[in-house]
Structure 1
Amino acid sequence: MIGAYLLDPFLDYGFMRRALVGCLALSLGACPLGVILVLRRMSLVGDAMAHAILPGAAVGFLVAGLSLVAMTIGGVVTGLAVAILAGLVSRFTPLREDASFAAFYLVSLGLGVLLVSMRGSSVDLLHVLFGTVLALDNPALFLMASIASLTLVTLALIYRPLIVECLDPGFLRSVGGGGTAAHMIFLTLVVLNLVGGFQALGTLMVVGIMMLPAAAARFWSETVPGQMIVATLFGFVACVAGLLISYHEELPASPSIILSAGILYGASILLGRHGSVANAALRLRHLQR
């Protein structure tokens, strides 16, 4: 009975298998990046970047309809443009980076929704905002797998300067360690994963699979590699659970995946090995003795 509940949807339907493969590829690339965003205290920047790709995707939609290539190129261009502009504003003005990202995020969200609404229907708008994970085709899967592979290889190459730049950027600048280059490469990877992920989960949901498993992993491991592994595993579990809930309960797939990740985050807050409510209660009880 349990085996049928877990396996039959993926064995019987090709669209469920494609959705599973796409979500797992997204988790493999996005969750490690989410750990770095949490480490850098840039969690809300990920949300801002997710909405920054919306105008470019909307322009691609206006030019070529629901074209994977056009919407991907548009999303990458506007996402990188917002990242660069927000960085320049924070560097040359008193405004902090998170505030500048928030400003560009609000403008991007409004502009993107307006552009899609000019030509598309409400169904097209929902497709861009919330994705169509159960309608992924082979080109979309290839794009997501390619982005995940590129992300993992690039993270392996820039891992050390990226971590040092997170913890002590002044030291890295003093030794000429290329912290700025590592930061820009990292932001590029974030944009690429968000662009690849919006095909499945939409621009409003994709950041959830990047940030929720990463935040939950903080309660289970104290090392960055350990958190990346745990975050990826949590991403996998959330994707499988969300797809199964969507199939059996006839609920939308994208919110089901994100809510599954949210349940894992809530459970981690309560029961995690490091800094959780249960851990703090045990420590207090030990001290009282």
Structure 2
Amino acid sequence: MKSFSDLGDTISIVWEGLDVRNNIVPDGSYTVSFEGLSGNQLEAVKQSATFSVNTTPAEAPPEVVFYDAEDQFSPNEDGRQEIGIIDFEFNKSVDWLYEVFTSGSELVISFTGAGTIGNVTWDGKDINDDVVPDATYTTLLTGTDSLGQVVTHEDEILIDTVAPEYGNLVIAPDPFSPDGDGIDDTTTISLDITADSLVTVYILQSDSVGLVKELDRTFHHEDKTLELQWDGTTDGGVVVSPGEYQISIWIRDNASNRVEPYPIKTLVTVE
């Protein structure tokens, strides 16, 4: 966008909102990065900051021009996806209020701030510092400008701390013989899962070291039995040698709750 340079211990930079071609930049968020180099070529610690350019007239009504939020997270102290992060931006400076409500419209917690750019980090706790129950919560973002004009944005966020479960894992036929004779040339891996989940399936050497094939890495729905076929080939399309191979299955939901064990391991025999 544009760069500046100067010498000294204290640097003051004035940017008039123009790019390298001296055009006024569009309204929006911008990041400024600071880098320094001493006389003996030692680099200073890099720093950055975010600010906004806003040419919106004072009388214009406020608008939410950017909103990005976690749709679910899992505050269960397992170290994975423990918090919900909500970022938003208005077209002008406002006093903003972010509120979380139960399905019965009871206030759970609220956050406040001011400016054009806002950020909320919610750890899944209520105003009493207790972790809220698993449920879908309604969120309401309200921005009020200096003229009392108001804009709102409503959303939902799911608290989910329960890990999916699996069942009815079947590998059949086992053994199988991928020799092209039309009899048991493939094997089918099938199982049921109790929640919408990302499923990753690897075929490995029996010692769990060598990767043979990535069989699946897709999102599956709980209302369908997962069925995958392996034709006995590697990722390169080469038919494997006879022997035992490990099937490793990783399953986690959208809130990063994992099926245990993680991964599920079982063996299949190629003849």
TM exceeding 0.5: no
Q: Which has the higher strand share?
A: 2
The bucket for the TM-score relative to the shorter chain is under 0.3
Q: Which has the higher helix share?
A: 1
Q: Relative contact order (C-alpha < 8 Å, sep 6+): which is higher?
A: 1
Tell which structure's C-alpha radius of gyration is larger. 2
TM-score, structure 2 normalization: 0.21
